[in-house]
Amino acid sequence: MRSILNSRYLYGRLNEMIQSLVNWSGWEHKGVRIVALILAAAFYWLSISIPMDLMLQTLFSAAIFSCAMYLRRYTGTLISLVMVMFSISATSRYVFWRIAYTINTESTTDLIFALMLVGAEIYAWIVLLLGYLQTAWPLKRKPVILPEDTSTWPTVDLFIPSYNEDLAVVKPTVLAALGIDWPRDKLNIVILDDGRRPEFAAFAEEVGVQCFTRSDNNHAKAGNINAALKRTTGEYVAIFDCDHMPTRSFLQYTMGWFLVDPKLAMIQTPHHFLSPDPFERNLNTFRNVPNEGELFYGLIQDGNDLWNATFFCGSCAVLRRKPLEEIGGIAVETVTEDAHTALKMQRRGYNTAYLSIPQAAGLATESLSAHVGQRIRWARGMAQIFRLDNPLLGKGLSFGQRLCYSNAMLHFFYGFPRMVFLLAPLSYLFFEVHIINATALSIAAYSLPHLLHANITNSRIQGAHRHSFWAEVYEATLAWYIFRPTLVALFNPKLGKFNVTAKGGLVEKEHFDWVISKPYLVMLGLNILGLFVGVGRALWWNTYELDTVLLNILWTIYNLVILGATLAVATETKQVRRSHRVRATLDAILRLPTGHSLVCKTEDFSMGGMSFHVPADFAIAQETEILVSLFSSTGESYFPARVVFIKPGLVSVQFLPLDLAQQRELVACTIGRADVWLSWSDERDVDHPLNGFREIAMHSVRGFARFGAGLWQRVQENRGLWNRQH
C-alpha cells in the first residue's frame, strides 16, 4: 500500500514539474526556444547513434520499455507524449542501426534485397513519425451555439449529388435533409442528378426540393457540384453523398464556427456508416472492432484540426461559398477532388475545422471488390495531388499543414512496403540472402524495442479507434491493388478516371472471391512454400545458423497469420437486406388491436421494420397488425405494422406500406434524431495489443477454413463440369 502511495506521489510531483516546465514564461523568448531545440536534437542524435554492445543495448532497451509500461497506467496527454518520445527514439535507433551496420555491400544480390527492406522500413519510420505528429494531441473541438435570432442565420444550399444510385438509396437522404432544423426559407435542398432520370425529378417535385441536371458528366462529382454552384446563391454549401443521411441537428452543430471565424472555409464531420463494410461483414466484427475508416474520422482528423489541416472528405461537410468560388469551385485536376479542394483553400490562407460528432450516417461498400475500387481511386488521387500540387512545395501552408497533408498522401504509398514485409523472409528461406547482415540476437535486441514501443504507444493513442495488428490486415488486403495506381500516378498523374463507388447493392450468396484474392493467394503460396523450406533448413541444410533460420520462420508464420485473415475477408458473406438494421435503443409504444398499449424499447430499426424488447410473457400472434408509436422533436408519430416474428422478450414487425409523409416521419424518428449515432461505440472495448493479435489469429484460422471449403467446392464444380462434358 505504501509503495502505491509513493508511486502516486512521485507521479504527481513529476506531473507538476512537467506542467511547470510547459507553462514557464521563458519559452516566450526566441533564443530560449532555439537553445532548447538544439539541445533536444543533440540528445536525440545521441540516443539513436551511440554504439552499445549486445548486452548494454538489451539492458538499455529493457529499462526504457519498463518505464513506458509503468507510465502507460496513467492518463493524460503529457504521459502520451513521453511514450511517443520513447517510441520515436527506439524506432530511430533501430533505423540508424539498420542503415549504419547491417547492409552487406559485398554481395550485389544481398545489397539489392537489403535496400528494398531498408527502404520499406524507412517509409514506415517516416509514416510513424508523422502519425504521431497528427494524433498525439487531438483538438477535440466543440460546437459553437448559434444566435437565438434565427433571422441572422445564413442561407445554405444543400447538395445531394447522384449518378447511378437507385431512388430507394437517395430518398431517405432527401427526407432526412428536409427534417434539418433550419429556417425553411434559408435552406435550399437540391438533388444533383447526373443520371438525368425522370423519376428523380418527379420525386423532387413531390417533396418540394429542386433537382438539377446537366447535359454532360464532365469531371464527375466535382463537375456536378460546380455546375450547381453557378445556379445557386446560398452563402454556404452543405454537401452529402446520396446515401449519407443527415440528422436534424447537422447545421446547428456546424454553422456556429463560421460565425465566429470569418476565415473558416470548411467544416467537416465524420463519415459514419450504419451498415458494415466488407471487413466487418465478412469477419463478423461490425460494431465490435473499429472499422478501417474509424481511425481517420475518430482521431486523425481531430489531430489535423490542431494544425489547421482538416481535409474535406466530399460529404457531411459545409463550405463557405466565397473561398470555394475563389479557387474555381471543387478541384477537378485529381480524382480525390475533396482533399485537393481543402488544400487549395488553405493555400489561400483560409481555415478548416473538424467536429468529431457523427451528424449523418451512410452506407458502406457492400463487396470487397467495390471497397478495393474505392480505395484505388483514393490512392490514385492522393498520388496525383502529391505529384501535381505537392504540399511540401509552394506557398500558403504552415509547417504543420505541410506535414499533415504529406502524411495523408504518403499513407497511400504503403502498397510496395507492405508487400516487401510480407515477402522479405523468403529471400533467405529460398535463396539464403542475408538481407539483415547481423545475428538473430542483435536483430531482436534492436527491432523488438521498436516494435513493442510502437505497439503500446499506438494502442494508447489509437486504442478507441483501431485495434492492434488490424492495420496489417487492411494494408495486406489492399497492398497489391493500390501499389499499381500510385506508381502510375507518380509518373503520369493524368492517367485514370473517376469511378463511382456503388452503394445499396446485394450479395446474393456466400462465396469466395477468387478474382480479388489472387494477389493474396500468390503471397500465401509463397509463404507456405517458404515455411516448408525453412523447416528443411532448420533440420538439415542450415543448422550452423539455426537462429537466423528460426527468425525467418517466425516472420513467415506471422505473415501467414495476416494473409489468412485476408482470405477470411475475401469470403463474401450473404447480404440480402436492402434496408439495413441499426441496433439502437429508442422509446416506443405498441398499440394493439385490443385497445391496449405496451410501452417498450427498440432493439433495432430499419426503414422496413423494427424489433422491440417486451416482457418475457408478452404474447401476440404473428401477422397481427398493430400501430407503432415513435417520437421525434415534433412529437409522436404512428406507423402501421405487421408482427413477423416473436420469441420470449422480443417482437419484430414489418411496416405496412407507408405514404411519403409517413416515410418522412419515420426518418425523423430514427436516422434523423440528433442523438441516434452518439453512443454507437459505447459498448465496445478499447484496444489491448495481445487481444488484437488474438482477434487476427482467430480470423486467420477461419480464413484458411473458408478458403479450404471454397477450394473444395470449386474442385467439385469443375469435376461436375468435366463429367458433363465427357
> Beta partners for 628?
590, 639
Taking CA atoms, 606 is separated from 131, 132, 570, in Å, by 37, 39, 27
- With beta carbons less than 8 A apart as the criterion, state whether 617 and 661 touch: no
- With beta carbons less than 8 A apart as the criterion, state whether 492 and 425 touch: no
Residue 689: count other Cβ atoms within 10 Å of its Cβ: 17
Q: Which amino acid is at 405?
A: Y
The dihedral built from the CA positions of residue 37, 40, 45 and 48, taken in this order, carries a sign that is negative
Give the closest residue to 422 by CA, choosing from 483, 334, 487, 349.
Answer: 483
Distance CA 357, CA 318 (A): 14
Range list of H helices, 262-414: 278-283, 294-295, 301-306, 321-326, 337-347, 368-388, 399-411
Give the closest residue to 216 by CA, choosing from 226, 206, 207, 208.
Answer: 226
Task: Find the catalytic residue in 110, 193, 277, 338.
Answer: 338
Angle at 716 between CA 714 and CA 718, to 5 degrees: 70
**Three-class secondary structure assignment of 644-674:** EEEECCEEEEEECCCCHHHHHHHHHHCCCCC
Distance CA 636, CA 53 (A): 75
Torsion angle, CA of 68/73/79/83, rounded to 10 degrees? 30
Task: Find the catalytic residue in 194, 243, 305, 389.
Answer: 194
Task: Please say if 338 is a catalytic residue.
Answer: yes
Reduced to 3 states (helix: H, G, I; strand: E, B; else coil), residue 278 is helix
Helix, strand, coil % over all residues of the chain, rounded to 5: 55, 15, 35
Instruction: Give me the residue label for grid cell 429508442.
Output: 586
In our burial notation (b when 16+ CB lie closer than 10 A, e otherwise), range 400-439 reads ebbbbbbbbbbbbbbbbbbbbbbbbbbbbbeeebbbbbbe
- With beta carbons less than 8 A apart as the criterion, state whether 327 and 352 touch: no
Residues 6+ positions from 500 with CB-CB distance below 8 Å = 163, 164, 220, 221
Give the closest residue to 220 by CA, choosing from 108, 125, 143, 334.
Answer: 334
Q: How many CA atoms lie within 13 A of 10 on its CB side?
A: 8
Torsion angle, CA of 276/280/286/290, rounded to 10 degrees? -110
Task: Please say if 261 is a catalytic residue.
Answer: no
Distance CA 89, CA 48 (A): 6
Extended beta strands in 530-663, E state: 571-572, 582-583, 587-591, 597-605, 609-613, 625-632, 635-647, 650-655
Instruction: Give me the residue label for grid cell 469531371.
Output: 219
In degrees rounded to 5, what are phi and psi of residue 331? Answer: -60, 140
Taking CA atoms, 84 is separated from 413, 457, 459, in Å, by 24, 6, 11
H helix or E strand, kind and range, residue 238: strand 236-239
Q: How far does CA 33 lie from the centroid of its chain?
A: 36
Which residues are identified as catalytic?
A: 194, 338
